Amino acid sequence: MPPTNVYEAAITDPDPETFFPTDWKERPNGNGRFFLGISPISTEQKAGPSRSRRPLARGRDSTHIARVGLSTAHEYIRVCEKLHQLISSAVFSISFGQSVRLTLVATGTYTPTYQRRRPLCMPTPTLVRTILAVTVAALACVAIVPAAAQRPVSRERTLFVSAVDNSGEPVDGLGPDAFIVREDGVRREVIRVARATEPIDVAVLIDNSQAATEEVTFFREALSKFVAKMAPGNHIALIALADRPTILVDYTDDTKRLSDAVGRLFPMNGSGMTLLDAMFETSRGLEKRETPRAVMVPVLTDGVEFSNHYHRDVVNALRKARTAVHMVTIGQFPHQEEPEGTRERSLLLDLGPKETGGQRISLLSAHGLDPAMQRLARELLSQYKVTYGRPESLIPPEKAEVSSGKAGVTMHGAPARGESGA
């Protein structure tokens, strides 16, 4: 039988039964009974099974002495479990590590502090073999990793890019050398370029406020053709802007439902527009969707704006949702500091397309709306999927931009959705 660790506790409280119920002292534990106030004294004073235990004795000054012999570390752990139960009663601190003592609320520390003479849990052959195996594996990794760490790890990222000529028509047949990609101003290597075939979520925001009374007829004609061209293979939602943002049709590829909803567009008398509120809420909805591409197409006049959101909040929501804004405006839209809604809309019209990889299509009259929407549909359906390399970095870049390396070609694009990490 291996030597047994012997533990002793001295209780100076006049009535130890207050802190240690009798059933705890007399409860058997493996090779024998145990007592719940312990501090190591010696590993040589006792040998043999822990059944050989001196009974509880009363010393001077009402000090109670108890001993218990434990054969294994597992038995010691079971005793510790009972010690922790004392915390809910009179024990308020237990210290392990280099010293062992218990403390009672009523009397303070009641066991002297002893320094441990050896670890309570000795390494076993199984533990030693496990440590050796882990050490060998770690050394092997150290030998391999430095060679790979000498060269930076490239991570591929994707942009969906529109490339158009001076007349706004898509340009075909471009290679990697025609695209210049920068992240926070740092140029990245373009790895490959292909025609984008991933589906698109298209949110069309329509101004049906009182200010759009004369333009609604043009809206019906232009948007009916737009949704008919864009719906196959994609999902389109129609949101009205008058008075408050209202979903006319949720995301669908059903051309008939979309066309019917467009045909029912009418201006709402006495209403203003809520462009910023609608763009903010629509961005949050798009953020929950998993479609690789997302665009927002607001079609609006220069009427009164009644939104409650600020332009910076809307731009941040758009960037978080990785949604490109293609703003179609009809009218003059002069910048005004008052009222606040008009000012915030003016700032959004300028900043929103730039920050999201979209564009602003400015029309002086609604007569040009139909051809403009048809060009936009052709552009979106002819986008490029541009894959570039990003070196490994702890901090991801804030902004990715694309520009043309070919004369006479204009480019803008947005990051693919669903990509994360540095």
Domain CATH code at residue 213: 3.40.50.410
State how far the Cα of 163 lies from the Cα of 387, in Å rounded to an integer.
15
- The b/e string for 115-127 (b: 16+ C-beta within 10 A; e otherwise) is eeeeeeeeeeeee
Same-domain status, 136 and 51: no
Paired strand residues for 39: 8
Cα 198–Cα 204–Cα 207 angle in degrees, nearest 5 = 170
Same-domain status, 216 and 352: yes
Residue 258, pLDDT score? 97
State how far the Cα of 294 lies from the Cα of 321, in Å rounded to an integer.
8
Helix locations, 115-234, DSSP H: 125-149, 216-230
DSSP output for 319-339: HHHT-EEEEEEES-----SSS
State how far the Cα of 420 lies from the Cα of 290, in Å rounded to an integer.
13
State how far the Cα of 290 lies from the Cα of 417, in Å rounded to an integer.
7
SS3 at position 168: coil
- β-pairing verdict for 384-391 and 186-195: antiparallel
- β-pairing verdict for 293-301 and 200-206: parallel
Same-domain status, 346 and 208: yes
Residue 34 lies in a domain: yes
Residue at token pair 């493996």 = 30
Cα 227–Cα 232–Cα 237 angle in degrees, nearest 5 = 45
Q: What is the DSSP letter of 172?
A: -
Residue 400, pLDDT score? 92
- β-pairing verdict for 359-363 and 324-330: parallel
Residue 44, pLDDT score? 39
State how far the Cα of 273 lies from the Cα of 268, in Å rounded to an integer.
10
Same-domain status, 106 and 135: no
Residue 228, pLDDT score? 96
Paired strand residues for 242: 273
Q: Which of 325, 344, 366 is the last residue of a domain?
A: 366
Same-domain status, 64 and 84: yes
Same-domain status, 42 and 72: yes
State how far the Cα of 301 lies from the Cα of 331, in Å rounded to an integer.
6
Q: Which of 348, 366, 384 is the last residue of a domain?
A: 366
* Tally of structural domains, the chain: 3
| Tens digit of pLDDT at every position of the chain (422 positions) | 444 444 444 444 444 444 444 434 434 444 443 344 444 433 334 334 444 444 433 333 444 444 444 434 344 444 444 444 444 444 434 444 444 444 444 444 444 444 444 444 455 566 555 665 656 555 555 444 444 444 444 589 999 999 999 999 999 999 999 999 999 999 999 999 999 999 999 999 999 999 999 999 999 999 999 999 999 999 999 999 999 999 999 999 999 999 999 999 999 999 999 999 999 999 999 999 999 999 999 999 999 999 999 999 999 999 999 999 999 999 988 888 888 888 999 999 999 999 999 999 999 999 999 999 999 999 999 999 999 998 888 888 888 999 999 999 999 999 999 876 54
Question: Which secondary-structure segment (H or E) carries 203?
Answer: strand 200-206
Structural domain including 94 reads 5-120
Residue 31 lies in a domain: yes
Helix locations, 86-236, DSSP H: 125-149, 216-230
Half-sphere exposure of 96 (CA within 13 A, CB side): 8
Q: How many CB atoms lie within 10 A of CB 1?
A: 8
Residue 26, pLDDT score? 38
Residue 270 lies in a domain: yes
For residue 23, give the amino acid letter: D
What values do phi and psi take at 317, rounded to 5?
-65, -40
Q: Which of 99, 120, 141 is the last residue of a domain?
A: 120
Q: Do residues 329 and 349 make contact, with C-beta atoms less than 8 angstroms apart? A: yes
Residue 198 lies in a domain: no
Same-domain status, 108 and 138: no
Residue 328 lies in a domain: yes
Residue 332 lies in a domain: yes
Residue 32 lies in a domain: yes
State how far the Cα of 326 lies from the Cα of 184, in Å rounded to an integer.
23
Same-domain status, 59 and 22: yes
For residue 363, count CB atoms less than 10 angstroms from its CB and return exposed for 0-12, middle for 13-18, buried for 19 or more: middle
Same-domain status, 77 and 134: no
Same-domain status, 270 and 311: yes
State how far the Cα of 372 lies from the Cα of 361, in Å rounded to an integer.
8
What values do phi and psi take at 398, rounded to 5?
-85, -30
Same-domain status, 217 and 356: yes
Same-domain status, 146 and 240: no
State pTM to two decimals: 0.64
Q: Which two tokens stand for residue 141?
A: 């990794």
SS3 at position 316: helix
Residue 196 lies in a domain: no
